[in-house]
Amino acid sequence: MTLIALDGVGRTVELPDAPPLQILSAVDLVIDDGDRVSIVGRSGSGKSTLLNLLGLLDRPTHGEIRFDGAEVRRLSDARLARLRGASIGFVFQQFNLLPGRTAIENVMTPLLYDRGAAFWRRERLAAAMLERVGLGARLTSMPDRMSGGEQQRVAIARALVRRPRLILADEPTGALDLETGSTVMELMEEVARETGAALVTITHDPAIARRAVRHLRLEAGRLVPLDGAEAPGAAPAASEAVSAPERRREFESEPEEVRA
């Protein structure tokens, strides 16, 4: 099932006293539930701009984005914010944890915007997710008292605590050593498999990029397949495409404490 689709998407930025700067042009991309996509590109190629579009943080200058069948251009800012909070999890290179807040307080933050039962159960859900990423003993630890790998796991727990359908990871291992980075990727992939979420990783690291099913390069404002990779918009491998929705149904049928 198609989760998000970009059709001829471009992004242009107006500059003072200079011609408009075209960052992206005619980007076509289809991401399905359970998909695994890596995107590489040089600095300044527009990767962050593309991530902001996929994460519904920005709107395209031209072209069309559909999220779960809804055209993004037609949605209000408030509707986009609710959709983003409920369906998309962000994992950043620099962690972006709140200073002066414990690990559990950081992970609870997205649940403060929930209008349902998750708001009232936010502490228990956050603790369960931290346990899931191996930090059950560090609930009250401050970020500055944690290693880089531990901080990144807190960031992952925060991104996944609302069980998003789309996980966007922006250079998630860039600030980590090789071994810790591999562990972090394995953790994200494992949770994504369990929930049936799509995982899109933007990275400079070829080893991290190769972990995905589809491998794309952002070049001159356009997405192109890497040599030997599947074309943009191609469906994931058959086993992934068939099993992801089934995994999500199985996951959602379990008690929340088990799922976390």
The set of residues, in sequence order, having a beta carbon less than 8 Å from that of 117 and lying 6+ positions away, is none
Which pLDDT score, from 0 to 100, does residue 128 have?
93
Confidence of residue 228 (pLDDT cuts 50, 70, 90): low
Which pLDDT score, from 0 to 100, does residue 235 have?
39
pLDDT at 57 exceeding the cut of 60: yes
- Mean pLDDT: which of 52-61, 220-229, 242-251 is highest? 52-61
Which pLDDT score, from 0 to 100, does residue 17 have?
87
Give the integer Cα–Cα distance in Å for 228 and 216. Answer: 10
Residue 115, φ and ψ in degrees, nearest 5: -95, -5
Average pLDDT along the chain: 84
pLDDT at 62 exceeding the cut of 50: yes
Residue with more model confidence, 4 or 241 = 4
Confidence of residue 179 (pLDDT cuts 50, 70, 90): confident
pLDDT digits (tens, 9 = 90+) for 82-108: 899 889 999 887 888 999 999 999 999
- Yes or no: say if 58 and 11 are a contact pair by the CB < 8 Å rule: yes
Give the integer Cα–Cα distance in Å for 223 and 170. Answer: 17
Which pLDDT score, from 0 to 100, does residue 140 have?
96
Confidence of residue 121 (pLDDT cuts 50, 70, 90): confident
Model pTM?
0.80
Residue with more model confidence, 241 or 127 = 127
Confidence of residue 243 (pLDDT cuts 50, 70, 90): very low
Which of these CATH numbers, 1.10.10.60, 3.40.630.30, 3.40.50.300, 3.30.70.2190, describes 2-96+167-259?
Answer: 3.40.50.300
Confidence of residue 227 (pLDDT cuts 50, 70, 90): low
pLDDT at 233 exceeding the cut of 50: no
Give the integer Cα–Cα distance in Å for 144 and 240. Answer: 38
pLDDT at 176 exceeding the cut of 70: yes
Domain assignments of the chain as residue spans, ordered by start: 2-96+167-259
Which pLDDT score, from 0 to 100, does residue 172 have?
86
Compute the CA torsion angle 169, 175, 180, 185 (nearest 10 deg): 10
